[in-house]
Structure 1
Amino acid sequence: MTDMLTPVLSANWGDERAWKLTNYERTGGYSALRTALEQAPADIAGQVKASNLRGRGGAGFPAGVKWSFLPKDNPNPVYLVVNCDESEPGTCKDIPLVMASPHTLLEGIIISSYAVGCHHAFVYIRGEVLHVIRRMQQAVREAYSAGYLGKGILGTDFDLEVTVHAGAGAYICGEETALLDSLEGRRGQPRLKPPFPAVAGLYASPTVINNVETIATVPSIVSKGVDWFTSMGPESSRGFTLYSLSGHVANPGQFEAPMGITLRQLLDLAGGIRHGHELKFWTPGGSSLGVLTAEHLDVPLDYDGPAKAGAGLGTKALQCFDETTSAVRACARYVEFYKHESCGKCTPCREGSWWLVQILARLEAGKGEEGDVEKLLDLADNIAGRSFCALADGTATIVKSMIHHFRSEFEAGLHTPAWELFPYEKTTAWYRPGVAAESGATA
């Protein structure tokens, strides 16, 4: 089964001190940059566009197409901003990538900057992961010393500065325009669009914003070719990607595989659902894009498969929950997160998420009122599509998706607490039946 994996970005994660420049160069690091600098910038941009590399940050928009939106006659400088504000529940791919091999990302930044005409790039990293920020800063210092950054890179006339910026510690800063506001020193809140960042982004200048994994993939396309990249994955979702598998799984972790692999195949690689249990529901792309159930085990994990099944691929955060999990409680915890992380700028999101939490708390406690389930759906409908960014949409989506698949559990909340139907201690990943009784503990 292991031949289904395609380690490219993660190929050197197990190497000794893989984050050091010398070790990265020893495995061919920065050879793609040398290849790129021998070509015209437009040719590199054309390769990325021809590869149909779709953004790995959740939206799935083709990177090459996004780059082409940059205006040709704008007198302002062009900026590249790399989004490493990884905060979506269950998503854990960009931070391990930067921690294990920051030069993979840095090489992608240099090549991408060369392709779009950028001379100052920024890496926006989630503020809580200080160790990752320091790892990236060290890699940038090494790159400057080796001549990969600064003036006249590798003897060419291409100059590039890279700034590593610690984020503001908010989920909303993962939204690209809120990220720009935070990067400029303001409170992170989504901007009204248009204008779009490609026209008026950072410092009101043309800006390309891409996810870490997207930019880190560029060197492999340059070095191995478009045909190699497009040989993997279905036509609408080419290439390979990192899947984050977590929850009630025997061996959770990162799995780098071609687009279109299924959860059944990934679970086979991960040893399946924890012993003695079975899959109940799972998130294909993080909670903001809804859940699927065990009947969707063979849905291709590309940009079309989950969408056809009523969810979305998103960040490929595959959180798996077994039969011990209360759908009401899981929904409540997700919505509490989104309520807490709402920036408060838009009334439907700010107020709607608060009311959703109140109703879900009643249902979880078995104190629901007649009509609460319909009220949840009505609130979700009035939140979705009525805010500047997708946070409100994600909040509404998880509510509607959970009720769609597990309505009977929500209706049971009118009279029975969720913890009676699904004792919460049994949902913990380390729970084993009988252990509590043997130790004399009580549930």
Structure 2
Amino acid sequence: MKLKRFYLRYYPPGIILEYEKRGCLRSKSIDLFDLTQETNPDQLVAVIRQSEPLITESRTDEVKQLILRLQQKHSQKNHRFCFFKELKAHVLPLTNVAFDKSGSRFITGSYDRTCRVWDTASGTELHRLEGHRNVVYAIAFNNPYGDKIATGSFDKTCKLWSAETGICFYTFRGHMAEIVCLAFNPQSTLVATGSMDCTAKLWDVKTGEEVASLIGHTGEVISLCFNTEGSQLATASFDNTVSIWDVASGGHVHTLHGHSGGISNAQFNWDCSLIVTGSVDKTCKLWEVVSGKCVATLVEHKEEVLDVCFDLSGQLIATASADGTACVFSATTHQCLLTLVGHDGEISKICFSPQGSRILTASSDKTARLWDVQSGSCLQVLDGHTDEVFSCVFNYEGDTIVTGSKDNTCRIWY
């Protein structure tokens, strides 16, 4: 084996090794989840060298410099976000917003049947993706590559586009009802779509062909996600269950039974060992992926849980509810650590900053809010929208936010 080059992964912290083995280029990651400002770089390099033969004596100083860069990135102080620009993005309400990995571009979907690509720095429109015959509801870049966009529509189709030119590569046809969720696998070789027809499908990015139809739910599939390896897909349904599927074969692995209401969202943690689910039954549940068993029920909210997520380390879980509050739970002890109180309406979206130090929420009270993960205090109210804020997202660096609203606009915050 011959080491070719290093890549840094800021969130969660790690170093990617690209190496050659038997004429083939491969990669592996060194995860540094416990890296802090107090970590001694020399001692860490010594530990890494003990377990990783690719890191030779000649590479020691290079690895140390990478560790110092990771420490510097994670020491950057949180700044207050300033409103930069409002984009009158569409003639009808927005449905979703999403960044590419670099944060230099983002996309918006809308009831006006289009998806638009925007330059983040200037707020100018780069491309208008037209061709759907109904609401464009689900949108995504193929991060980390960022050269393709997928759009899912109420017209029952998904389209694959060039992010660089706006040209449509393929139209995926086969669903019998509205497409309401989609995702690229991490390798950007597949697109998964979920539909109100109670099925999910896998599509080949290169050929445009259907790879598999995942049949088993008895209610609408309203959320799906790949694990970080791309080996499994989780589909969440209004039939009160989540199904785990083997991506390579399209086979069914587990059905997660236990909720008494429809599932609002389901997410894998970073190491693919756990899934968290949120439900209209007012609870969240934590599941062991290997066995499919429920390991904890998180009971704190008084109304439906509308969104859930892990932080990138997989140590914390955040939940958003129709009761107007958000909660932070420990993924290990399952205890509620914080309740975030301040919104005057239901919270439909929640996410951690890439650094894990902040939480961003979007609410029907026309605002988004930033919260401190340690204290639970509200750090900032992002106001200015004139209707419900239903979408909010950080860029990969965590220094830019886009909020999307029912008022037909999105707002950029630096």
Q: Which TM-score tier does this pair reach, normalised by the shorter chain? A: under 0.3
TM-score w.r.t. the length of structure 2 is 0.28
Relative to its length, the structure with more strand (as a share) is: 2
TM-score w.r.t. the length of structure 1 is 0.26
Which structure's CA Rg is the greater one?
Answer: 1
